[in-house]
Amino acid sequence: MNLLIFLSFFIHRILSETSGVASAVKNDISNNLKSLQKEINDSTNKQFEHVFNEVKQSDTKEGGGNNEKQGVKK
């Protein structure tokens, strides 16, 4: 009977510690994913701004962009 009590206590303690570790790992992964998502969004925004500025400068230099060169009416 004492062995059964000891085993149940031991198993309960292992499960409690495992649950704590799993929760910590889950939180760490969640934080890493949020950080990665922010980096991707920031990078995408910078790339978009760069391309937008290049197109804007190109339109200004060429007097209206590619549409007029190709005969497309605005």
Mean predicted lDDT score pLDDT of the chain: 84
Q: What is the pTM of this model?
A: 0.53
Q: Which domain holds residue 37?
A: 17-55
Question: What is the count of structural domains for the chain?
Answer: 1
Question: How many Å apart are CA 46 and CA 38, to the nearest integer?
Answer: 12
Residue keyed to tokens 């059964």: 4
Per-residue pLDDT for 64 more than 60? no
DSSP character string of 2-14:
HHHHHHHHHHHHH
Q: Is residue 64 assigned to a domain? A: no
pLDDT digits 0-9 by tens, 3-59: 888 899 889 988 888 888 888 999 999 999 999 999 999 999 999 999 999 888 887
The pLDDT of residue 39: 96
Three-class SS state of 64 = coil
pLDDT band at 62 (very low <50, low <70, confident <90, very high): low
